[in-house]
Amino acid sequence: MKPAIEIRDLHKHFDLSHSGVASIKTALLWFRKRRIERLEVLRGVTFTLNQGETVALVGRNGAGKSTLLSLIARVYKPSSGTIEVNGRVAPLLELGAGFHPDLTGLENIQFNGVILGLTRKELAKRVDRIVAFAELENHIDTPVRTYSSGMMARLGFAIAAHVDADIMIVDEVLAVGDFAFEEKCYAKIEEFRANGGSILFVSHNFESIYRVADRCIWMRNGVVAMEGDPHQVVSAYREAGE
């Protein structure tokens, strides 16, 4: 069986400019003086996410975790190296990722569902379930900008959980809802795993790592510092004082 995600020697660098606002005017004015700084975020990451496996990513801010997830979600193009993804990915990146603030909750469900690869027919069948799961029946017709962070997280998770993805990538969003919703999320994640889905998630909450992860990867300075049993990796990570 092919792995869900296979990453080989992945590099990603960004070019940061210090010339300020992007406009033709500044480009002309700063043509000689512009300073471009190359920021290497990932320097050769290799790992595999097997089908049905749940892997946690830990590491300090700036270690490259979110960049890695964005690369898997195909938001960025790798500088070099390969990413092979087998199956439909449901990315759940940060709070309210991909929501349009001026559209209502319902419109955002439609918009996001289609972005995640559902057809409108498939989506129409699921809308009620998504709304019910997010517990937003009373707010679904108001613009998302009026939502609290908890409401947005609930909606985001509800959509991602109902698109029948094969792989879920989650960037530290589970800690935003209240306790009852968190439990509901864990129940959904268990169901997703039981059905053979794979999960890659970033978390700073060790409890949740122990609870769901089969394996843990510690990222440091853009490389995999250690991978293996969650308890061992987390304790090594904590001992490193990070």
Partner 1 sequence: MPSLTLDFRHGLFIGIFAPENQVVNRRYSDRMRKELRELWRFRELLFTLVERELRIRYKNSSLGFAWSLLNPLITALVMTTVFGLFMQQGGIKSYGLYVLAGYLPYLFFQFAIMDSAQSIYNALPIVKKVYFPREILPLAAVLSNFIHFLLALGALVVICVGVWAAYGDLPLKRTIVFVPILMIIQLALVTGLSLMVSALNTFYEDVKYIVSVLLYLLFFLSPVLYFSEQVRDAPTANSGLLFNIYHLNPMAALCTGYKKLLLDNAAVPDRKGGTLVPLEMNWSQVGVAALFSLAVLWIGYVMFNRMKWRFVERP
Binding footprint of partner 1 on the chain (CB under 8 A): 14-17, 19, 21-25, 27-28, 31, 34, 36, 70, 73-80, 91, 93-94, 97-100, 103, 107, 110-112, 114-116, 118-120
For the CB of residue 72, give the shortest distance to partner 1 in the complex, in Å.
Answer: 10
Number of helical H runs and strand E runs in the chain: 8, 9
Q: How far is the CB of 134 from partner 1 (least distance, A)?
A: 18
Minimal distance in Å, beta carbon 226 to partner 1? Answer: 29
- List the structure tokens of 56: 């946690």
User: Residue 167 or residue 216: which is nearer to partner 1 going by CB?
Assistant: 167
For partner 1, give the closer residue by CB, 111 or 186. Answer: 111
Integer Cα distance of 203 and 238 in angstroms: 14
Among 226, 196, 198, 194, CA closest to 57:
226
Instruction: Output the smallest distance, CB 112 to partner 1, in A.
Output: 8
Q: Can you tell me the distance from the alpha carbon of 200 to that of 58, in angstroms, rounded to the nearest whole number?
A: 11
Cα 60 to the center of its chain, rounded Å: 16
**DSSP 8-state assignment for residue 102:** T
Nearest to 165 by CA among 92, 110, 56, 108: 92
For partner 1, the closer CB: 115 or 240: 115
Smallest distance, Å, CB 167 to partner 1? 13
Question: Which sign does the torsion angle of CA 179, 181, 186, 190 carry?
Answer: positive
Residue 33 or 241 with smaller CB distance to partner 1:
33
Whole-number minimum distance, CB 28 to partner 1, in Å? 7
Report the phi/psi class of residue 163: left, alpha or beta, with left for phi > 0 and alpha for psi in -120 to 50: alpha
Q: What angle do CA 124, 126, 131 make, to 5 degrees?
A: 110
Between 79 and 221, CB nearer to partner 1? 79
Query: What ranges in 30-119 are assigned the alpha helix state H?
Result: 65-72, 105-115
Measured from the CB atom, the residue of 21 and 180 that comes closer to partner 1 is 21
